[in-house]
Chain A
Amino acid sequence: MNTLKIEDRVRAATRAAADTVAPDSVPPLQLPSERPFRSRFRSRFRSREGSRALARVWGRRLAPLAAAVAVVAVAIATVMVGRTVDHGTGGTAAASASPRPGPVRTGPAVSSYVASGAVPRYYVSIESHGNPNFSPSYAVVRSTATGSAMDTVTPAGGRTVLAVTAAANDQTFILDAAPWVSSSSSANQNFEPRSFTKVSLAPDGRVRSLAALPLSVPTGQLMTGFALSPDGTKLAIAVQPDNNKREPNLTEVKVITLATGATMTWTANGTIGFGPDDARSLSWTDNERTLAFDWAANGPGIHTGVWLLNLDTGGGSLLADSREAVTLANQALFGATPLAGNTMVPVIQPASTSSEQPVMPPTCQEDSIITPDGSAIVCGAITALNETVKPNGAGLQRGAETEFFEYSAASGRVARVLGHWTFGSVGALSVEVLWSNASGSVLIGVSPDSGGGRVGVISGNEFTPLRATVASAPAQSGTW
């Protein structure tokens, strides 16, 4: 039994770790002359090549950077291809009008989107009284057009709402809830048992009925994704059943028929989603034959992408029954060997900045979802621009460039770019796709602003902010 306070244990351990870096072991700074970012690392690699062992070590060292490079390379290649295709075919206004980002253009009023049926009438957000870190959360049904609260669902028995998923009919939602763990408790909220409640709305947006579902995720299992099928009859969940113990990488995808409890299960080693209770790491097509999932492979290196599970297989091996539709990062693209001597990695120079320094193009953040018609996989991408220290020295100030990519599910190439914008000054680097219409021509997503981001409708290259939404966390932004 360790009798030290946990704070003291943290202090001692972190300082001991720091002390493993000996003062005389600091490598010299390598400042390249005017060379692009990635050439520098090739140069560093070369300086140490000559040993296979060292090459392997550097392969591991550069894993995150290689992943970044891979993302950049893939993004650039696909964007360039996508834009070329768009230009050649007439494409979309967003993609064909200009490859350069510009300021955000405000779109038509949200009410017009709602009136035309282009976006759902209602959404459910997760809210709390005060700081959500100190108070349990509840669900609020809100009007998309006005932001008005239509109804509230507060879980009973000291539980807190963690995530929400929606069917396509704009009337059926499922809440994911767990016993609330206060900040003074030693328990971990992520491992509390999950239970699910079906919320049915009346046409006026009021709650018509609540039904506890006869299924749960038990204590100790980590749920990393869940998504209600478009017709509201099945629930897909991703869990890591043995997260802390023997098989931390084992992931199960279960598709449960709510009426009967019949369950199909697929398994693989790797990770789905970006965190516990991620309600956008899984997404369905309208025909309910395909489930898209954001996947990070297990093993050395980094390989992330969006995979499409064929639900007709009925269960089994997750990867054998799926295909990778979009590769977002793949260390193998570069491997543990140095880049070829003449490899040139292109960079995008934003038109809006006077800086002569190249910047990395935007890369996808968080989850990517499949459009209901199954044609595209959409995600939000962002990169910071012109970071400088604030005049008072308190932190950085920066701009951002964002894009909403739509990858062809068939080819894996970018077929369309929505919302290609620059921002002179932003707070958090927030960008996220929360909802897509059938084809991906209209999205609801998060774009950056001076704070945590704002939620709005994205169509063409226009953005219409929604009222009464917060973007501090995707789950709290709203579920449509």
Chain B
Amino acid sequence: MNANATEVSALPPEPARDGGLAGPAEAVTALYEAHALGLIRLAVVMLGDRPAAEDVVQEAFYGLYRRWHALSDTANALAYVRSSVINGCRTALRRRVRQLTLVGAEQPGEADSAESAALLGEEHRQVLLAIRRLPSRQREALVLRYYLDLDEAEIASSMRVSRGTVKSTTSRALAALGRILEDQS
């Protein structure tokens, strides 16, 4: 596990919520304060777009807040909200898929912005652009595997696919990425 992964997978004890003393708003806010940074970073990597990433994360926590009463075990709240962020990214990508992943167009986002050009080296920028040209499922598999360092079982659970599909999707994603990077060079 790298530092980034730890940020979005480790749920600190929250006595107030677990003890039922705090309301949903307090519990969700506490969870947000502990994990928003890691989740926004995850969404930024997935979407390449900071504002959209913030919206996805806000939406995920809002969904958690709305469904707090339905959670069978609030200790799973982080797993829930992380899945929501991944689903939110998937939905956002789906909305943009025709314009972005399919056509290979360079989307507006941190990889393209003048600000990020200063923050990211050319190598990273090229790799990120290449990742964003992948179909969303392949991109998702790569981010979960190599950014969050999740294992195949965890990725399968997050993506709701079989472990075999994770393996094949990741493999094809790397192959496609290699081709794109080769074309770019």
B-side interface mostly = helix
| Interface residue B70 (Cβ < 8 Å from any Cβ of A) | yes
Cβ-defined partner of B25 (8 Å) among A16, A31, A64: A31
Are B92 and A240 closer than 8 Å at their CB atoms? no
Closest to B63 in A: A387
| Interface residue A12 (Cβ < 8 Å from any Cβ of B) | yes
Cβ-defined partner of B4 (8 Å) among A15, A27, A355, A427: A15
Are B124 and A188 closer than 8 Å at their CB atoms? no
Residues of chain A from 28 to 77 with CB closer than 8 A to chain B in the complex: 29-32, 37, 40-41, 44, 57-58, 60-65, 67-68
Contact with A along B141-185 (1 / 0, CB 8 A): 011001100000000011010001100110110111111111101
Contacts of A6 in B (CB 8 A): 174, 177-178, 181
Are A29 and B160 closer than 8 Å at their CB atoms? no
| Interface residue B85 (Cβ < 8 Å from any Cβ of A) | no
**Contacts known (A13-B131, A133-B172); A428 close to B37, Cβ less than 8 A:** no
Are B160 and A10 closer than 8 Å at their CB atoms? no
| Interface residue A408 (Cβ < 8 Å from any Cβ of B) | no
- Taken together as a complex, chains A and B put the C-alpha atoms of A191 and B179 apart, in Å, by 10
Q: Which of B25, B79, B103 gathers the greatest number of chain A CB atoms within 10 Å?
A: B103
| Interface residue A341 (Cβ < 8 Å from any Cβ of B) | no
- Taken together as a complex, chains A and B put the C-alpha atoms of A44 and B171 apart, in Å, by 41
Besides A20-B116, A395-B160, 12 more A-B contacts (Cβ < 8 Å) are: A10-B147, A12-B123, A13-B127, A16-B124, A18-B44, A18-B45, A19-B41, A29-B32, A60-B51, A63-B96, A248-B104, A388-B80
Question: A318 → chain B, closest Cβ, in Å?
Answer: 15
| Interface residue A129 (Cβ < 8 Å from any Cβ of B) | no
- Taken together as a complex, chains A and B put the C-alpha atoms of A62 and B49 apart, in Å, by 11
| Interface residue A334 (Cβ < 8 Å from any Cβ of B) | no
Are A20 and B36 closer than 8 Å at their CB atoms? no
Contacts of A188 in B (CB 8 A): 175-176, 179-180
Are B177 and A20 closer than 8 Å at their CB atoms? no
Are A387 and B67 closer than 8 Å at their CB atoms? yes
Are A302 and B95 closer than 8 Å at their CB atoms? yes
| Interface residue B102 (Cβ < 8 Å from any Cβ of A) | yes
- Taken together as a complex, chains A and B put the C-alpha atoms of A62 and B52 apart, in Å, by 7
Spot the interface stretch: A100-108, A113-121, A270-278: A270-278
- Taken together as a complex, chains A and B put the C-alpha atoms of A304 and B96 apart, in Å, by 10
Contacts of B45 in A (CB 8 A): 14, 17-18
| Interface residue A88 (Cβ < 8 Å from any Cβ of B) | no
Are A355 and B70 closer than 8 Å at their CB atoms? yes
Cβ-defined partner of A12 (8 Å) among B62, B124, B168, B176: B124
Are A21 and B44 closer than 8 Å at their CB atoms? yes
Contacts of A191 in B (CB 8 A): 179
Closest to A387 in B: B67
- Taken together as a complex, chains A and B put the C-alpha atoms of A188 and B26 apart, in Å, by 48
Cβ-defined partner of B98 (8 Å) among A10, A16, A271: A271
- Taken together as a complex, chains A and B put the C-alpha atoms of A173 and B116 apart, in Å, by 49
**Contacts known (A133-B168, A275-B102); A393 close to B79, Cβ less than 8 A:** yes
How many residues on chain A are close to B (CB under 8 Å)? Answer: 81
Contacts of B146 in A (CB 8 A): 7, 10-11, 14
Are B169 and A61 closer than 8 Å at their CB atoms? no
**Contacts known (A13-B123, A14-B45); A395 close to B157, Cβ less than 8 A:** yes
Contacts of B97 in A (CB 8 A): 274-275
| Interface residue A447 (Cβ < 8 Å from any Cβ of B) | no
| Interface residue A89 (Cβ < 8 Å from any Cβ of B) | no
| Interface residue A243 (Cβ < 8 Å from any Cβ of B) | yes
| Interface residue A131 (Cβ < 8 Å from any Cβ of B) | yes
Cβ-defined partner of B52 (8 Å) among A29, A64, A304, A427: A64
**Contacts known (A61-B51, A183-B175); A271 close to B124, Cβ less than 8 A:** no
Are B52 and A61 closer than 8 Å at their CB atoms? yes
Residues of chain B from 1 to 57 with CB closer than 8 A to chain A in the complex: 2, 4, 25, 28-29, 32-33, 36-37, 40-42, 44-45, 48, 50-55
- Taken together as a complex, chains A and B put the C-alpha atoms of A159 and B43 apart, in Å, by 37
- Taken together as a complex, chains A and B put the C-alpha atoms of A144 and B121 apart, in Å, by 56
- Taken together as a complex, chains A and B put the C-alpha atoms of A32 and B176 apart, in Å, by 42
Are A9 and B96 closer than 8 Å at their CB atoms? no
**Contacts known (A14-B146, A187-B179); A386 close to B70, Cβ less than 8 A:** yes
Contacts of B37 in A (CB 8 A): 21, 23, 26
Question: A381 → chain B, closest Cβ, in Å?
Answer: 14
Contacts of A27 in B (CB 8 A): 54, 58
| Interface residue A394 (Cβ < 8 Å from any Cβ of B) | yes
Closest to B119 in A: A20
- Taken together as a complex, chains A and B put the C-alpha atoms of A188 and B116 apart, in Å, by 28
- Taken together as a complex, chains A and B put the C-alpha atoms of A56 and B28 apart, in Å, by 30
Contact with A along B69-112 (1 / 0, CB 8 A): 01111011101100110010001100111110011110010110
Question: A209 → chain B, closest Cβ, in Å?
Answer: 34
Contacts of B50 in A (CB 8 A): 20-21
| Interface residue A342 (Cβ < 8 Å from any Cβ of B) | no
A to B CB contacts below 8 Å, 22 in the list: A2-B185, A9-B123, A10-B177, A11-B146, A13-B131, A18-B41, A18-B42, A21-B40, A21-B53, A133-B165, A133-B172, A134-B168, A183-B175, A249-B103, A271-B99, A273-B102, A274-B97, A296-B99, A298-B99, A302-B99, A388-B71, A391-B72
Contacts of B142 in A (CB 8 A): 10, 14
Are A396 and B178 closer than 8 Å at their CB atoms? no
Are B143 and A29 closer than 8 Å at their CB atoms? no
Question: B166 → chain A, closest Cβ, in Å?
Answer: 11
| Interface residue A224 (Cβ < 8 Å from any Cβ of B) | yes
Are B179 and A13 closer than 8 Å at their CB atoms? no
